[in-house]
């Protein structure tokens, strides 16, 4: 009886501890946060975000160049 009780207690504690294991925990001014993503997932998300920001910067630069050309266009009335 003791063996069954101890084994069930061990199984319960192992299963209960699994969801709590975070990949990364941060303490921010808004409070503690837990990131359950793996390191590869976080790096992929950071790369994706950086690529998005770079594309946006290029788009803004292109728009500024086009606006500069339009304002100096002698064909405009």
Q: Is residue 20 in a domain?
A: no
Q: Is residue 27 one of the residues assigned to a domain? A: no
* pLDDT tens readout for residues 11-65: 777 666 555 555 777 888 888 888 888 888 989 999 999 999 999 999 999 999 9
Alpha helices in 1-77 (DSSP H): 2-17, 39-71
Read off the pLDDT band of 71 (50, 70, 90).
low
Q: Are 34 and 21 within 8 A, CB to CB?
A: no
pTM, two decimal places: 0.47
Whether 75 is in a domain gets the answer yes
Which domain covers residue 51, as residue numbers?
47-77
CB-CB contact of 34 with 22 (8 Å): yes
Q: Examine residue 19 and state whether it is found in any structural domain, yes or no.
A: no
In a domain, 55, yes or no: yes
pLDDT for position 2 = 81
Q: Which two tokens mark 33?
A: 């946060």
């Amino acid at each position: 009886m003791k063996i069954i009780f101890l084994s069930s207690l061990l199984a319960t504690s192992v299963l209960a501890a699994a969801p709590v294991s975070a990949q990364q925990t941060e303490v921010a001014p808004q409070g503690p946060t837990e990131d359950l993503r793996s390191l590869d997932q976080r790096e992929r998300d950071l790369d994706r975000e950086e690529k998005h920001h770079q594309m946006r910067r290029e788009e803004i630069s292109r728009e500024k160049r086009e606006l500069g050309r339009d304002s100096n266009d002698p064909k405009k009335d």
